[in-house]
Structure formats: structure tokens, C-alpha cells
Amino acid sequence: MTDSSSAPRKVAFLGLGTMGGPMAGHLAKAGHDVTVYNRTAAKAEAWVAAHGGRSAPTPEEAATGADVVFLCVGGDDDVRAVAGEAMTALAPGGVIVDHSTVSATVSREMDALAREHKVFFLDAPVSGGQAGAEKGILTVMVGGDADAFAKAEPLMACFGRSVVHMGPSGAGQLTKMVNQICIAGLVQALAEGLSFAQQAGLDGHKVVDVISKGAAQSWQMENRGHTMLDGKFDFGFAVDWMRKDLGIVLDEARRNGAKVPVTALVDQFYADVQAMGGNRLDTSSLMKRLTR
Ligand code: NAP
């Protein structure tokens, strides 16, 4: 393989939000030549002041001359707009890596469009949240062409601890859907357990400390159990994003016939949190429904 993780590469990063900002920062820190684009230009200017590199006023200008273009934006239509523009500027053989969580359908659509432009599109959603992005220890689940993956993998390793090619276009997003299904039911169960502990007059913190050493242990319990008891719900992954993700899961399940009744119910519980004004609270805020 000609690409090595240490060779500086010319890359672009589009979308410098909670996740994209720090991910792009890791690319710059590793010595790559990074051009950034952000819809709200002030964020791109602040990123350049902190990390060096340069900013461009449009996705097309940011992507011009880049080998690999990363994006981390919002939902399906955002990816259509941003990746669709970037791919017109890439030289043949260039690779677009989409770290947004979107449908497998839009990923396959962009993959087909990219091939028309003689470039590649990888769906590469991430897990690990804001803290994972800041520490550069994300899990990256990738779908698409294997050679394009080999070209982009050393770059993704700048912010990913585990970067895995899951299969053809859409396979990364399908894997992320499994991730979100597993989280949804688990967070609700944790919220129910902790609110039960409170109702029973137990010391919730002591309960978390002891049961997190046993069979009920989970990442959510260890990282969110105490903060849920303290009513702190400010950890980066917003309820609005989770509803987007669960909507994608439920659509896909309708297509493939998977039964996801608990996920469908928890999606409605998140709708309750939104109705309580919790759109930007993090996903552990399911606790608020039970303690109001
Ligand atoms: P965020 O903080 O809201 O940032 C979104 C970024 O996308 C901003 O830079 C925004 O630009 C840009 N953007 C959105 N729509 C756009 C459009 N149509 N054209 C141009 N730019 C657009 O979101 P985030 O938390 O970083 O999440 C980004 C993606 O990663 C989402 O798909 C989310 O589901 C996924 N994700 C998030 C987390 C997490 O913990 N936050 C974890 C895993 C995956 P402006 O600055 O102009 O608004």
C-alpha cells in the first residue's frame, strides 16, 4: 500500500460541529494539510486560528485539490447538499468519507453518484460521542469500496481507535443502526433502574457503584449513571440527533422486516423529552421523563 499514516496528505473537512471540529483537529495535529469548510464561516475561522490550515467559503472550493474529503454534517439532505457539491471538485480516484449518521439509502445514492464522477464515497459513521472525538478514540464503521477504504483508513486512524470496513456501500450506516438500537433500550432501562432506586429510598450513587461491578454493568451505567442521578444532561449527543437516528432505524426495520418494538417505544419517549424542551439535552435525559 502506498499510503502511510505518517505521509502528509492534502485533505478537506466539511462541517466543524461538535464532532467534526475535533476530528479535523486530529488530522491537522498529525501533520496533514487540512482545508476546512463550515456553513457558519465564523466557526471555520476559529478552527483555523486554533489549528492552522486554511478555510474555504464553499464545499467545492475546500475539496479542490484534496485527495480525501471528510464530512460530518446532519441528516440525509445535508449530506446530499455538501457531499454532492464536493464530489464535483475532486480529481478522479478521490475519496469522500462521510462521518454523519444518515440512512443507508442516501449512502448508496451518493456512492452511485460518486462513481459517475469517477470518485469514491464511503459511509463512515462514528460512535464515541463528543469525548471520543476530542480524545481521538472514536469507533468508525465503514461501508464502500475496499481500495478507497485502504486509502482513507490511515487518515481515519488519526481520530479513530477502531476503524473497520464492514462491507459494501451502506454497511457502515447499517452497523451504526445496530449501535443505536443497542443504546436506546439500554438507556431507558438504566433510567428506570435509577428512578426505581430513588423511589425506594436507596442511595442511587451507591447502587451504581455496586451494580456496575456486576452483570448489569454497561458503558452507559459507568459514564452516565451518576450524572443522571445528579440531573446533568449536557454531554454532546443531542436528543434531536437520537430521534433522527431512531427514525432511520425504524425506516430500515420496516424495509428489512426486523422487529424492534422497544426501540420504537423509546423513540416515543425521546419525543416526550423534546416536548419538555429537551431537544439539545443528551440522550441520558430519558431520566427526566421519570422524575418530573
Ligand atoms: P452539530 O454540532 O450540530 O454540527 C453539525 C455541523 O454540520 C455544523 O458544522 C453545521 O454547520 C453543519 N451542517 C449541517 N447541515 C448543513 C448543511 N446543509 N450544509 C452545510 N453544513 C451543514 O452536530 P454533531 O453533533 O457534530 O453531529 C454531526 C453528525 O455526526 C450528525 O449526523 C450526528 O448524528 C453524528 N454524530 C454525532 C455524535 C455526537 O455525539 N454529537 C456522535 C456520533 C455521530 P453550522 O455550524 O453552520 O450549523
- To test the pocket of ligand 1, the residue of 43, 55, 73 to mutate (highest count of ligand atoms within 8 Å of its CB) is 73
User: Per-residue pLDDT tens for 193-205?
Assistant: 999 999 999 999 9
Kindly state the cell numbers that stand for 205: 450513587
Cα(16) to centroid(ligand 1), Å = 7
15 pLDDT exceeds 80? yes
Task: Look over the chain and give the mean of its residue pLDDT values, rounded to a whole number.
Answer: 96
10, 43, 118, 176: the active-site residue = 176
| Other beta carbons less than 10 A from residue 1's beta carbon | 8
Ligand 1 atom closest to 39 (CA): 47
Ligand 1 atom closest to 237 (CA): 40
Kindly state the cell numbers that stand for 184: 436506546
| Closest residue to atom 21 of ligand 1, CA basis | 39
Between CA 214 and CA 192 the distance in angstroms is 18
Kindly state the cell numbers that stand for 167: 462491507
Domains of the chain with CATH codes: 10-168 (3.40.50.720), 175-291 (1.10.1040.10)
Cα(73) to centroid(ligand 1), Å = 4
**pLDDT, average across residues 57-66:** 98
| Closest residue to atom 8 of ligand 1, CA basis | 17
Confidence of residue 119 (pLDDT cuts 50, 70, 90): very high
* pLDDT value for 6: 58
Confidence of residue 235 (pLDDT cuts 50, 70, 90): confident
Angstrom distances, CA of residue 187 to CA of 45, 66, 192, 235, 267: 37, 40, 9, 14, 12
Kindly state the cell numbers that stand for 265: 417505544
* pLDDT value for 1: 39
Ligand 1 atom closest to 245 (CA): 34
- To test the pocket of ligand 1, the residue of 16, 37, 39 to mutate (highest count of ligand atoms within 8 Å of its CB) is 39
**pLDDT, average across residues 21-46:** 98
Ligand 1 atom closest to 102 (CA): 32
**Side-chain half-sphere of 28: how many Cα atoms within 13 Å?**
20
**pLDDT, average across residues 21-29:** 98
Cα(78) to centroid(ligand 1), Å = 9
Residues 6 or more apart in contact with residue 112 via CB below 8 angstroms? none
For ligand 1, residues with CB inside 6 Å are: 15-20, 38-40, 43, 72-74, 78, 81-82, 100-101, 126, 129-130, 236-237, 241
Phi, psi (deg, nearest 5) at residue 181? -60, -45
3 pLDDT exceeds 80? no
Would the pTM of this model clear 0.85, i.e. be above it? yes
Q: Is 43 a catalytic residue?
A: no
Any idea which residue has 494539510 for its cell? 33
Cα(49) to centroid(ligand 1), Å = 20
Kindly state the cell numbers that stand for 241: 440527533
Return the sign of the alpha-carbon dihedral for residues 237, 242, 243, 248.
positive
Angstrom distances, CA of residue 52 to CA of 28, 45, 49: 7, 10, 6
Angstrom distances, CA of residue 88 to CA of 166, 169, 186: 26, 20, 42
**pLDDT, average across residues 230-259:** 95
